[in-house]
Chain A
Amino acid sequence: MEFGPIISAMRRNKVGAILIAVQMAITLAILCNALFIIEQRVALSKRPSGADEANVFIMDNQWVGNPPDVSARLQGDLAALRSLPGVQDAFATNSFPMSGGGSTEGIRLHPDQKDATALTALYFGDEHAIAGFGLKLVAGRNFNPGDVVDKLGYTDLKGPTGIIITRILADKLFPGGNAVGQSIYGAAPTGQTPIIGIVDRLQVPWISAGGWGSKFNDSSIIEPFNFISVYPYHYIVHTQPGQMSSVLQAAPKKLFDISRARVIGKTQTMSAARADAYKDDKGLVVILAVVCASLLAVTAFGIVGLTSYWVAQRRRQIGIRRALGATRNAIIQYFQTENLLIAGAGAAIGVALALSLNLWMVNAFAMQRLNTSYALIGAIVVLLLGQAAVLWPALKAASIPPALATRAA
């Protein structure tokens, strides 16, 4: 295939060719950045919480007034929940993964250290917390009932007797792998706290992309506290497989039987909490996918339209070429090569545009650097799109009869 005639023909249609190339460049820039965002958001929403999500539900509870015997009421509720048929275990806590609300603490390795070694999320719970969430203890031991004390709301500053932390946090604090038995220092002026156990995984409550929790997604601490609060708190109930719906019905009834002077707030399965927490991420993914598809369609139709016009414009010349011996394939190849040249130029500009767009987004938003392979994949997609779009006009061009050349214009 000779490029000479194609290029000289394009020179006569400069603006049309430039328009297509620029369109393809912008399409490419948006496409690969959008795909990159889509891929990231999907990965984000798949991060495990560490809990046995399929069999865990959360029930918010709040007492009316500030009854003096909240501690006893809490234990009464928990005993009732644990005795329900179909329940594996249950406990009360201040927060849960993906809830979006909770408590944070900076952890230090020495009492006089200024900057925290690690940011962590705090979960309060008793010796049933690990079984209640369905976590996996991988080192050390669970809390004993004797470790657990009442914590009277967030303004109660007493420190824990010992803590259970996540594996990732343990590796961060003690890269040697011997975290159990070591001590750390929290915010509370209570001195050192020994690490008594390690769980495989427990996600922090804050999960939004680029949000607060994204810096320490799996750095969580469980502190042996009964959370006694005028603030609404959560019962975490771990059911036997398949028993979720019956327990979901029975649990509030059971608690109202004990006392009606309470508000049972939001009751949701952990799967529902996940769907809720990531709804906007999913929405963004769908919107971007729709925009990408529309973008490809518009660009493709644009190529079809302009190329068809060029074919119509050159009917006579094509007829003459055919009369002079050019095959149908040669005509098809002509338009395909022409499109490849334009799309190639567009793709080259597009890759540069895509990378600079990403660079700008890295600065303007909490975005990561675009993997260059995305730009290359995008370039291939755009080139293929051009070839596919040009096929129909090219076929139409190839069907121009050579006899056209013999007719008067």
Chain B
Amino acid sequence: MFNYYFGLAIRSLKRNIVLTVLMIAAVGVGIGASMTTLTVFRAMDSDPIPQKSGQLFAVQIDNWGPDSKSVVSGDKERFQEQISYIDAVGLMNAKAAHRQTAMYKTGAALTPANPQLLPFQVQIRATHTDFFSMFDTPFLLGGAWSADDDKNHADLAVITQKLNDKVFGGGNSVGKTINLDDHEFRIVGILGLWEPIPQFYDLNNNAYGEGAEVYLPFTRAIDGQMPSWGNNNCNGDVGQPGWEGRLRSECVWLQFWAELPTAADVDGYRAFLNNYASEQQRLGRFHWPAHTRIRDVREWLVYQHAVSDEVRILVLVSFSFLLVCLLNAMGLMLAKIMGRAGDIGVRRALGASRRAIFAQCLIEASVVGLAGGLLGLALTALGLVGLRSLLSEEVSRLTHFSPADISIAIVLAVVATTLAGLYPTWRAAQVQPAWQLKAQ
């Protein structure tokens, strides 16, 4: 039966080729536009670490209080996106979570061993050993430094495969050293490709750009007075001058993440944080009641507006466009089906039931949807190429079509077109055989 209807649909579509082409083009263009923007939106909105996003939490502590004189206002609840060095050390020492790490973005000049080569700049993330196990970073060779290395402020480094290729021409470089700003660091591990999109653990800087090339122990970077290359926010009170002054200040410039595997751990950590803040109040550092917050990865991305307004606007515009295209196709289908009222009358008179007519017309609509979907896929590919040439490199990294996107496009096209075909189809099923036959 399906094959018969499918054949009828093709024949009917062939008979009025102009209307058919218009319908398919309308659906195709609509799907192309909406899938192009949806691809970018889905990439921005994707869960960068799906296996653990519910167990990793960003920590916020209000260390400025209600009378903050900051020119950079925090959110409505008075939270800053980063924490101070005092709090980072306090939370690290407490070790109240299953795993935890403080971190910040910095950089240095790497001087190659070959004196012929010029020094070049590398992006560095200063962090604790738990970073690697918390975020499931893929080690190709070697591994993370140890907790003792953190304690000992060790001159160790984890580098990316890309940097390993650049400096050593690939190979097993674990045990070799790199020279960063005239200090030697021994390589303990080499990371394979690891570029979560967005870079959820530090969204302040280049969230869609490339990540660090070198990872150093946090304690060692602090010893080396390596300044933050990211956002530094100071309250009205900037503290004392110099590096030590910055460490003792209430300036916020560090990210802090905790891994909390179970709901009980989460509750426990919330309680711990409040105790910590209350303790700070008792010590006279905070003049306000405990005010802390933890957010898991997905909450953090929403809180930090990981999806840009521009992309939201484009998604909105392109889906409205799809709606117009579908209304269009619906009008054309209506015209087409009503133009065939005579045929339908004959079929009804020959014994076809309303259901049969309904099924036949709906299949015709689905065929249009399928063809439109295929055209839409081609247009999406074209649209994404266009986006890559139009937009910055950061956004261009989000324009890759996944298999999921392909199925979304086809399903969206078929379902939407079939839905748009429901009314014309219903009208077709209402055709009175006698009336049509009389008119002939």
Distance between B165 CB and nearest chain A CB, rounded to angstroms: 19
Residues of B within 8 A of A (CB): 18-19, 22, 25-26, 29-30, 33, 67, 69-72, 107, 109, 111, 118-121, 181-183, 225-227, 229, 232, 234, 236, 238-243, 245-246, 309-310, 312-314, 317-318, 320-321, 323-325, 327-328, 330-332, 334-336, 338-339, 386-387, 390-392, 395, 423, 427, 439
A37 within 8 A of B: yes
Bound Cα distance A2, B232 (Å): 72
Which A residues touch B390, using CB under 8 A?
Answer: 279, 282-283, 286-287
Q: Report if A263 contacts B (CB, 8 A).
A: yes
Residue of A with least CB distance to B332: A305
Chain A positions 282 through 320: 1 when the CB is less than 8 Å from some CB of chain B, otherwise 0:
111011101100110011011001101110110000000
Q: Which A residues are in CB contact (< 8 Å) with B392?
A: 276, 279-280, 283
Q: How far is the CA of A116 from the CA of B242 in the complex (A)?
A: 25
Q: Is B313 in contact with A365, judged by CB distance below 8 angstroms?
A: yes
Shortest distance between the CB of A100 and any CB in chain B (Å):
10
B313 and A155: CB pair below 8 A? no
Report the separation of the CA atoms of residues A298 and B327 in the bound assembly, to the nearest whole angstrom. Answer: 10
Q: Which residues of A lie under 8 Å from residue B331 when comparing CB positions?
A: 16, 19-20, 23, 302, 305-306
Assess the B324–A295 pair: CB atoms within 8 A.
Answer: yes
Inter-chain contact B241/A298, CB cutoff 8 Å: no
Q: In residues 112-158 of chain A, which contact B (Cβ within 8 Å)?
A: 114-116, 119, 153-158
Between-chain CB contacts (< 8 Å), 8 pairs: A16-B335, A23-B328, A26-B324, A62-B121, A284-B310, A287-B386, A298-B325, A305-B19
B residues within 8 A CB of A302?
22, 26, 327-328, 331-332
Interface string of A255-293 (1 = CB under 8 A from B): 010001111010000000000100110111011101100
Residue A64 is within 8 A (CB to CB) of chain B in the complex: yes
A283-B387, A313-B338 given; A153·B314 CB < 8 A: no
Closest 3 CB pairs of A and B: A309-B335, A106-B71, A65-B182
DSSP class of B's interface residues: helix, strand, loop or mixed?
Answer: helix
Chain B, residue nearest A365 (CB): B309
Q: Is A391's CB within 8 Å of the partner chain B? A: no
A26-B320, A154-B227, A155-B243 known; A301 and B328 CB under 8 Å? yes
Which residues of the other chain, B, contact A231 by a CB distance below 8 angstroms?
A: 227, 229
With contacts A19-B334, A230-B227, A286-B390 taken as known, whether A64 is within 8 angstroms of B234 at the C-beta atoms is no
Residue from A22, A63, A261, A287 within 8 A of B314 (CB atoms): A287
Distance, CA A16 to CA B327, complexed state (A): 10
* With contact pairs A64-B119, A155-B242, A305-B331 given, residues A365 and B181 touching in the complex (Cβ less than 8 Å): no
B70: chain A residues at CB < 8 Å are 106
- B331 to chain A minimum Cβ distance, whole angstroms, is 4
Q: Which one of B107, B182, B310, B336 lies within 8 Å of A280 (CB-CB)?
A: B310
In chain A, positions 301-353 with a C-beta closer than 8 Å to chain B are 301-302, 305-306, 308-310, 312-313
In whole angstroms, how far apart are the Cα atoms of A105 and B240 in the complex? Answer: 17
Instruction: Kindly report which residue of chain B lies nearest to residue A256, judged by CB atoms.
Output: B118
Among B25, B242, B327, B395, the one with the most A-chain Cβ atoms within 10 Å of its Cβ is B327
- Chain A minimum-CB-distance residue to B440: A409
> Cβ of B321 and Cβ of A294 under 8 Å apart?
yes
Q: How far is the CB of A107 from chain B (nearest CB, A)?
A: 9
B324 touches A298 (CB 8 A): yes
Q: Does A157 contact B339, Cβ atoms closer than 8 Å?
A: no
Q: How far is the CB of B438 from chain A (nearest CB, A)?
A: 11
Bound: A286/B314 CA distance, A: 11
Measured CA separation A189–B236 after assembly (Å):
9
CB distance from A304 to the nearest CB of B (A): 8
Q: Which residue of A lies closest to B67 (CB)?
A: A114
Within 8 A of B (CB), among A156-208: 156-158, 187-189
Q: Any chain B CB within 8 A of the CB of A232?
A: yes
Determine the distance from Cα of A359 to Cα of B229 in the docked complex, in whole angstroms: 38
Contact at B120–A263, with CB atoms within 8 Å? yes
B318 proximity list for chain A (CB < 8 A): 291
Picked from A26, A62, A313, A366, the residue with its CB within 8 Å of the CB of B323 is: A26
Nearest residue (CB) in A for B339 is A309
Apart from A64-B181, A283-B390: 7 A-B pairs, beta carbons within 8 A:
A64-B109, A155-B243, A187-B234, A187-B236, A231-B227, A305-B18, A310-B335
A94: B residues at CB distance < 8 A: none
Q: Mark A5-22, 1 if CB is under 8 A from B, else 0.
A: 000000000011001101
Q: Give the residues in chain A near B332, CB-CB below 8 Å.
A: 302, 305-306, 309
Say yes or no: A153 contacts B335, CB within 8 Å.
Answer: no
Q: Is A220 an interface residue (CB 8 A)?
A: no
Given contacts A27-B324, A287-B390, contact A280 B395 (CB under 8 A): yes
Assess whether A365 is in contact with B312, with CB atoms less than 8 Å apart: yes
A260 contacts across to B, CB distance below 8 A: 118-119
In Å, the complex CA distance between A19 and B245 comes to 68
B109 touches A364 (CB 8 A): no
Nearest residue, chain A, Cβ from B37: A287
Q: In the complex, A65→B327 CA distance in Å? A: 65
Cβ-based interface call for A383 (8 A): no
Is A85 part of the binding interface, using a Cβ–Cβ cutoff of 8 Å? no
